[in-house]
Structure formats: C-alpha cells, structure tokens
Amino acid sequence: MDKLIEVLQQLVNGVSLGSIYALIALGYTMVYGVLRFINFAHGDIYMLGAYSGFLLAPLFAQTFKFGEFDTFTPENTLFILCGAGLVMVLSMAICAGIGVLIERIAYRPLRERPRLNVLITAIGVSLFLQNMTQYRLGADPKAFPQLIPVHVVEGLGNLTILTSQLAIIIATVILLIILRFVVMRTKLGLAMRALSLNPTACSIMGVNNDIVISFTFALGSALAAAAGILVSMDSPSINPLMGNLPGIKAFVAAVLGGIGNIPGAALGGLIIGILETFVVAIGFPQWRDGIAFAVLIVILLFKPTGILGRVEREKV
Amino acid sequence: MPVRLLSGSIFFLQLTVALATSSIKVGEVDPLSGGVSQFGIGCHQGYVLAFEQINAAGGILGQKIELVTEDDQSKPGQSATAVRKLITQDKVVAILGDATSSATLESAPIAQSDKIPMITPTATNPRITDVGDFIFRVCFLDEFQGRVLARFAREKLKAQKIFTLTDVKQDYSVDLLKFFKDEFTSLGGSIIGEQSYSTGDTDFRAQLTPIRVARPDAVYVPGYYQEVALIIKQGRQIGLRMPFIGCDGWANQALIAIGGKAIDGCFFTNHFSPDDQTPVVKSFVTNYQQKYGAMPDTFSALGYDAARVLAEGIRRAGSSNSQAVRDAVSQTAGFQGVTGQISFDAKRNASKPGLIVTVKDGRFEVAEKIPP
C-alpha cells in the first residue's frame, strides 16, 4: 500500500512538472507551425514571465493581501485566486507584448533569408534577454512573493498534493481548453492553421500573414509567462538563467510530441515531466537532465516526426 | 606641446616616486562581476574597510597601504592572468584572494613561483595550501566543518538516523558528505539513506518523498543556499518536521528570504556571525554598517581578517620584502580576528574556531562555538 501511494505521489509530482513543460512546449510548436523555425529565446520569455510577476506583485500586495493568508478557507479562496489571477494575466499580457516585439524587431527582417540566420538570431536574443535581466535586476536569486498560500490539500489520506501543484495542473487544463478554442473556433486560429499548411496560398487568399505571426508569438509567449508564474508560486526562487534548462527540455517535449502539433506538445511535456520525476525517484538524480536528451536522441532515430506528428513530404 | 609633454612626464615621475616611498602595494584578485560576484564583493569590502582603518591610524612602518584590485569576472583563466599582472606590472608585496577554491588553485602556483605571499580569505578546498609555502588561508577546511557538524548532530541533537541529500555537481558538497558520514558513523549513528540533486534544480519533491517514508532524525544537506532554501521549504510543505543541517554554503540572507519560516530550527556550520557579542565583532559590525549601510556577511568578515593578518605580518616583518612578509605571516599565532582566533599550522591553514548557527524567527543565531 505504501509503495502504491509513493508511486501515485511521484505521478502527481511528475504531472505538475510536466504541465509546466507542456505550457512552454506549446510556444515552440506553434511558432514552428507558422514559421518553420525554433525560437530559442522562448525559454527566456518563461523567465521574463516570472520576473514580471515578481515586479507586479508588490503593486497589488496591499489590495489582495499577498502573503497574509496561511491557508485556503471557503471564504478567502475566491479573493486569493482573483489576486493571483490578476498578476498572472498581467504578466501574460506583458510577455505577449515582448514576444510580439521580439518577432517584429529581430525575426521579421530576416524572414526571407536562409533559415539558419534567424535561428542564430534567436540564440542571440536569448543571450540578450538573460544578460539584460542580470544587468538590470541582478544575477542573484530573488525570492518570489507568495501569491497563494501553499499547503497540503486536506482529505487525500497519505497522498500529499500541495495547493501550488493543484494550481499548476488546473491552470494548465484551463489554458489548454482556451487555446483549443482559439485555434479551432476563431478566425485567427483558422488563419494560423492555414498559414502552417501553406503560407503563400494563405496570403493569396487575403490573410495578412504578419498579423497571424504576431498573434502566434503573443499566444506562445503568454503561455510561457503563465508557466513562469505557476512555477514561481511552487518554488519561489527566480533567477535570470532559470529559463535555460526548462526551455530546452520543453523543446525536446515539442519534438517528442511531433513539432508543429499542438496536442502533441502538451502530451510531450507531460511525458518528459513524468519520466524525469521517476528517474529521480528510482535513484538516478544525476540523470534528471540527461533523460530528456536521451529521449530526444531515441525519438530522432526511430520516429523523427514525433508521437503525434504526421509525415510531411517536401514538395519539389 | 613638447613642453607640456615634458612637464607631464616629470609630473608622472614625481608621482611614481612619491607613491613608491609612501605606500605599500597589496594586490587583490576576486570575482567582482559574473556568477559568484556576491562572494568577491563581500571579500573586497572587507579588505577596503580593514586598510582604511589601518591607514587612518597612520599606516604600517610609516607608510600607507594601497590596494590594487583586479576582477577575475568569475571566469576560468582570469584569476591567473590577474595575478601575473599584479606581480609583474604593479609589483605588489602580497596578494589577497581568490574567493573561490577553483580560481585560487589556478592563480596560487604563479604567486608561489614568483615568491609572493598569497592569502585566500575563503577557499576551503584542502589542496590549496599544498601549492607551496607562500600560500595561506584564514578560513577553516571542509574536513573540520563536516566533522564538527556530525559531532553536534550526534551529541547535541541526539540524532541516531540521518538522511543525506548531496549536490552531485559540487566537489565541495561531495567531500563534505564523506567527512560527515565518516565521523557520524564512527560516533555510532547511522546514515539510513542518501539522495542527491544538481545545482540549479528547483523541484526536489522526488527526492523528499522517500525521506518522508524513512523518518530520519535529521536531514544533512551540504549545498549552497539557493537550492537548500527550496529543499527545506518543499520538505516542510510535504510534512517533514525534523531539523535540516548543513554547511557554510548556507550562510546568506537569501536562505531566509526564499525559505521563510520553513528554515526555523535548522542548523549549519559557519565562520562568522554578526550577532556575536565579543567587542571585536561588535566594533567591526558597527564600522561596516556605517560604511556600507548593510550587515557584514561571512565573506566580508573573512576578507577583513585576511587583510588584517597580512598587515600585521608586514608590521612584524619590519619591511615590505615579500620573503620577510611570508616568514612573519607564517608565524601568526593567536591573532584576534572577527572570525575567531587565528593561528597558522605547519601547512599554513588557519586552525580556528567554528560556529554552529541556527535560525530562530527568521534570524541567524549562534547555537554553539566550537574550539579548533
């Protein structure tokens, strides 16, 4: 029984970690879908999301009494969620803006150039964001303010699920449903899908490709920012290089699910998160970071299109 | 134009002559920018304060001490370059630094081969003073703090079963575990489980879950504050109530800023506490606060002591000859520093007391003083 609980426990830990990777992976996959290039600065948008929250939270600390509640009660739950939600939505908006700006300044001028140019530019943007944050806000780790009280959810027996883990999982599910709606049911979503099939035909049909691409960047960056805030609620220490590793692992997740495929990115993120947790749990913590890349190698060797990806024939 | 050039060079000539007669040059190499800049800046502020006080009191041998500072940018290779520059261009009498073990191991051989005494304030790796007889350190070694804490856990905390959690990316952490384990088991305790993590991790629940099942009396985490704060916080959240114990890598206010109330009741070994009530520490803390507007940390305290041990050595040598200064510094015994009494042993390591620090209501407090 104890063993079963422990496995279940680690599964919960894995799903909450995987949700974060899933949210970041979506940005990689959507940008790849419309532009066929990997935006390596995406992990740093996740970092900027956490820093936006860090800078925004003090502005609302008084109104929403951040850090003053020790537990959730039926009376204060809605109030707390409003405060945390507000900080999260504002951070998402800020990062959506930054994402659009990066695309406009750094990537758009290179759109007709060889794809390698823009790929290298993306690495440059990533370094710029990391070093600019270190320069402006300091390289030392900062304590993230407490947006929601973190404690064990009552009534689950020996299974400990923290409110912060629950918040990650629920917020991810909500964001995925919203994303699904946007992509499948709105005109912009339709344009995104059309653009990923054939950009030239898309613009001939009267779609403004620039707007659709900007929108894609905004959407992806907002999701990464949400991931940054959610992670910081759970592990409240942030630093300018925090986006590096999660960014690359989320990229692996996107490839694993089939790059360009939205449900695939979410699935890939969950798989990487769960794998990582179990690798540590069975006693190989050194392999925590290695496992994601081992998966990348295996997937590239045996199923380069990923789990849900479909084979695309290059047109001659 | 030629006239101005000439007068300019005469002015420089006079200046260098004036400097050569009125000051003793001491070099400093520290990481003042980059990843571990917090460590370097702490040491630097300690040196500056110490030399300002000495100069204000008339200097040494009738001369003022001049600190020549070089930044190693926290990058491999830079510390050696900086030391070479200090010795060949600035012609310093002695060198203070470097703040980290890896950088010191890089630059110490240069100081040794040029016979310039070098005192590191904070590098704890055992190999450092093996470089040669011109290399000194004013902090204790990892073996000392590992063993001291094991004894404290066994005798004072009455711990029987201990679980350990090590940072596999840091030699520092891996070595400390070895010393701790050795001492703790020889005192009759047992290590009931070992887990590890890597620098930069932020999610430790996979490692903490088995600890909850094992129910140890304490958890030993030799690591740096950034990860340790999250480990303890996440441990408390899943219901671990036992004390976490650790090492001088914990000694930073960020431990409490990030960990909050979770850190209360934990213990770690340290070199220095600003809450120490001895007169020498009290006056250091007051002066430091006046100058920098902040509390001194372990690095600034050790930097302050290193600078004063060196100045005292120069005074006793009676000259600024590097060989004479080395000989005098090696004779240092019972020097009253802010981090305790410092005496150099035959291997030029400081044998000195350590502190066990605990956290109470979000403040560091001295739990026990450990003699050398």
Residue B109: CATH number of its domain: 3.40.50.2300
Interchain pair B203, A13: CB under 8 A = yes
Contacts of B234 in chain A (CB under 8 A): 235
Residues 27-56, chain B, touching A (beta carbon < 8 A): 34-35, 37-38
Select from B37, B237, B258 the Cβ nearest to the Cβ of A162. B237
Tokens 């910081």, residue located? A232
Give the mean model confidence (pLDDT) for residues A16-33: 95
Chain A contact present for B196, CB below 8 A? yes
Chain B contact present for A236, CB below 8 A? yes
Nearest CA-CA distance, residue A221 and chain B, Å: 22
Interchain pair B234, A10: CB under 8 A = no
Which of the residue ranges A227-236, B6-15, B184-193, B363-372 would you say has the lowest mean pLDDT? Answer: B6-15
Quote the CA–CA distance of A23 and A270 in Å, as a whole number.
10
> Which pLDDT band holds residue B277 (cuts at 50, 70, 90)?
confident
pLDDT of residue A166: 94
Chain B contact present for A286, CB below 8 A? yes
* Domain boundaries, position A148: 22-242
Q: Which of B276, B67, B259, B231 is nearest to A144 (CA)?
A: B259
Q: Which string of DSSP letters, residue by residue, matches B165-230?
A: EEETT-HHHHHHHHHHHHHHHHTT-EEEEEEEE-TT----HHHHHHHHHH--SEEE--S-HHHHHH
Tokens 């999660």, residue located? A246
Quote the CA–CA distance of B180 and B203 in Å, as a whole number.
25
C-alpha dihedral (B140, B146, B147, B150), degrees to nearest 10: 140
Same domain, residue pair B136 and B217:
no
Residue of chain A nearest B39, judged by CA positions:
A140
Same domain, residue pair B127 and B51:
yes
Q: Is residue B360 part of a domain?
A: no
Interchain pair A139, B35: CB under 8 A = yes
> Which pLDDT band holds residue B19 (cuts at 50, 70, 90)?
very low
pLDDT of residue B308: 96
Quote the CA–CA distance of B44 and B27 in Å, as a whole number.
11
Chain B contact present for A163, CB below 8 A? no
pLDDT of residue B299: 92
Contacts of A231 in chain B (CB under 8 A): 202
Nearest CA-CA distance, residue B104 and chain A, Å: 22
Among B221, B239, B270, identify where a domain stops. Answer: B270
Same domain, residue pair B37 and B85:
yes
CA B186 to each of CA A92, B151, B160, B183, B225: distance values in angstroms, whole numbers, following the listed order: 55, 10, 12, 5, 28
Same domain, residue pair B250 and B306:
no
Chain B contact present for A280, CB below 8 A? yes
Which of the residue ranges A174-183, A207-216, A287-296 would you say has the lowest mean pLDDT? Answer: A287-296
Same domain, residue pair B245 and B283:
no
Q: What is the pLDDT of residues B308-347, one digit of tens each?
A: 999 999 999 999 999 999 999 999 999 999 998 999 999 9
Q: Is residue A249 part of a domain?
A: no
Is pLDDT at B281 greater than 60 in this prediction? yes
Nearest CA-CA distance, residue A108 and chain B, Å: 32
pLDDT of residue B5: 47
Tokens 């960047």, residue located? A217
Task: State the count of interchain CB pairs (< 8 A) between A and B.
Answer: 75
Chain A contact present for B210, CB below 8 A? yes
Same domain, residue pair B58 and B204:
no
Among B270, B296, B331, identify where a domain stops. Answer: B270
Give the mean model confidence (pLDDT) for residues A73-89: 92
CA B19 to each of CA B130, B158, B275: distance values in angstroms, whole numbers, following the listed order: 35, 60, 40
Interchain pair B202, A289: CB under 8 A = no
Same domain, residue pair B99 and B225:
no
Which of the residue ranges A39-48, B56-65, B274-283 would you say has the lowest mean pLDDT? Answer: B274-283
Same domain, residue pair B54 and B104:
yes
Alpha helices (H) along chain B: 2-22, 37-56, 78-88, 101-113, 142-155, 171-186, 205-214, 225-237, 253-259, 279-292, 298-317, 322-330
Interchain pair A281, B209: CB under 8 A = yes
Which of the residue ranges B151-160, B234-243, B245-254 would you say has the lowest mean pLDDT? Answer: B245-254
Helix, strand or coil, per DSSP, at residue B321: coil
Quote the CA–CA distance of B49 and B311 in Å, as a whole number.
13
Is pLDDT at B17 greater than 70 in this prediction? no
Prediction ipTM score: 0.74
B244 contacts B266 by C-beta, under 8 angstroms: yes
Quote the CA–CA distance of B199 and B168 in Å, as a whole number.
8
Percent residues over pLDDT 90 in chain B: 64
Residue of chain A nearest B227, judged by CA positions:
A237
Is pLDDT at B79 greater than 70 in this prediction? yes
Quote the CA–CA distance of B54 and B304 in Å, as a whole number.
11
Q: Is residue B163 part of a domain?
A: yes
* Domain boundaries, position B175: 143-270
Q: Is residue B363 part of a domain?
A: no
Nearest CA-CA distance, residue A245 and chain B, Å: 9
Chain A contact present for B202, CB below 8 A? yes
Q: Which two tokens stand for residue A167?
A: 């918040």
Select from B35, B197, B258 the Cβ nearest to the Cβ of A236. B258
Instruction: Give me the number of domains chain A comprises.
Output: 1
Is pLDDT at B288 greater than 50 in this prediction? yes
Nearest CA-CA distance, residue B184 and chain A, Å: 23
Give the mean model confidence (pLDDT) for residues A173-186: 95
